[in-house]
Amino acid sequence: MRLALSGGGTGGHVYPALSVARALECALPAGEDLELLYLGTGSPAESGIMGHTGIPTRKVPSAPIRGRMPWEMATNAVKIGIGATQARRILREFKPQAVLSTGGYASFPVALAARSRGIPLAVYLPDLYPGWAVRATARLAGRVAVTAEESLRRLPARKGVVTGYPVRPEFWQAGREGGREKLGLDPAEKVLFVIGASQGAHSINRAIAAELSGLLELCEVVHVSGQADQQWLSEIRDGLTSKLRGRYHLFGYLHEDTALAMAAADLAVCRSGASTLGELPAVGLPAILVPYRYAGGHQRLNARYLEHHGAAIVLEEVNIEQLLPLVGELLHDERRLRTLRKSAHGLARPDAARRIAALILELAQERQP
């Protein structure tokens, strides 16, 4: 079987597509192979992730569907048209039985191309709130999978299916003891896991750096900073005492070991991109979520969803100076951590990737003569 994947250029879009592809491969009859092609933006985050997979990747031009000014909308429309033409040519050559889109404006030209060639299109919405591109793409799709029921009322009737977030298999396999052993963490210490997004989060990194000595007195810190901030954070680490330096585990980026790092931790500090809706519940990790202000409101809605279900606490970026007291308060309150952890586990959906894979197979079979 041949499947084309398309996403919006960030880890929150790319990883779900890869998870579904792995589930689809397992669902195919014995002896049938899965051939994949990823059509994306060519962004650094996307290229970094896809470079580890070995899946062929093609870049497709795109632009936001909306624009603030008339001339901006016109320019965007031209870029989308060019992208759709290129995507149509790529799909004609690849001949996929289906296309899976995981949202973002970059996937819209691919959706247009799939529709024009009569290729079944499945859409997965990672975030709770569908942006303009996802809403437009959903109208072209045969099936639309969503993370939570709250998303259905914003999408075309009768197309939506609640599946949960398709988390990579390693998140279901990761354990606390194995994670601590792999990362060299003390089995008895409290561990704080800090991560921004695919490219890091500068404001979170600065907040951690400002309170680093105090944090390291409280716990060990596993900090995934993003490569842009790794150098100056390394210099701060080198200036710590030897005792504290050994408690600070700094990484520019983690790929396969992200699941182990999260499973090893007692508490996370992170953004609230789409991946948090699946990965935090999968390992039962309580979190302090700091929504990115310039994400169209998507991250705030994701964060409030997890907070509403008792799995996280939201800290707005304007109040980032409260981070250290809040971390200290939570790490010293084991009963509250257990409650948060239990609530997070309750949101886990281990069968999400398999359910979306089943939707794709269903669409592909419907197309067959």
- pLDDT: which is higher, 130 or 145: 145
In tens, the pLDDT along 301-357 reads 999 999 999 999 999 999 999 999 999 999 999 999 999 999 999 999 999 999 999
**Contact status, residue 136 vs residue 151, Cβ threshold 8 Å:** no
Comparing CA positions, the residue from 15, 27, 23 lying closest to residue 52 is 15
Q: Which two tokens stand for residue 72?
A: 């901006």
In this prediction, residue 366 carries a pLDDT of 82
The model's pLDDT over 265-277, given as tens digits with 9 standing for 90+, comes to: 999 999 998 899 9
pLDDT score of 297 more than 90: no
Residue 367 in contact with residue 120, Cβ under 8 Å?
Answer: yes
- Phi, psi (rounded to 5 degrees) for 144: -130, 110
Give the distance between the most distant pair of CA atoms in the chain. 70
CA distances from 1 to 32, 180, 365 (A): 7, 39, 11
- Inform me whether the pLDDT recorded for 69 exceeds 70: no
The tens digit of pLDDT for each residue in 78-89 reads 899 999 999 999
Q: CATH 3.40.50.2000 in the chain: give the residue spans.
A: 2-165+350-367, 170-346
**Mean pLDDT across the stretch 243-262?**
93
pLDDT at 167 over 90: yes
> How does residue 368 score in pLDDT terms, banded at 50, 70 and 90?
low
Two tokens, residue 110: 């691919």
27 pLDDT exceeds 60? yes
pTM to 2 decimal places: 0.91
Tell me, what's the pLDDT at 75? 83
User: How far apart are alpha carbons 232 and 210 in whole angstroms?
Assistant: 12
Burial of 285 (0-12, 13-18, 19+ CB in 10 A): buried
Q: What is the mean pLDDT of the chain?
A: 92
pLDDT value at residue 369: 52
pLDDT reading at 72 higher than 80? no
pLDDT of 105 reads 80
pLDDT digits (tens, 9 = 90+) for 126-141: 999 888 888 889 999 9
- CATH for 170-346 is 3.40.50.2000
Treating both helix axes as pointing N-terminal to C-terminal, what angle do 276-283 and 334-346 enclose, rounded to 10 degrees? 120
Distance CA 171, CA 164 (A): 14
For 189-229, write each residue's pLDDT tens digit. 999 999 986 555 899 999 999 999 999 999 999 999 988 89
pLDDT in tens, 54-67: 899 999 988 877 65
Predicted pLDDT at 68: 63
User: Hey, what CATH topology would domain 2-165+350-367 get?
Assistant: Rossmann fold (3.40.50)
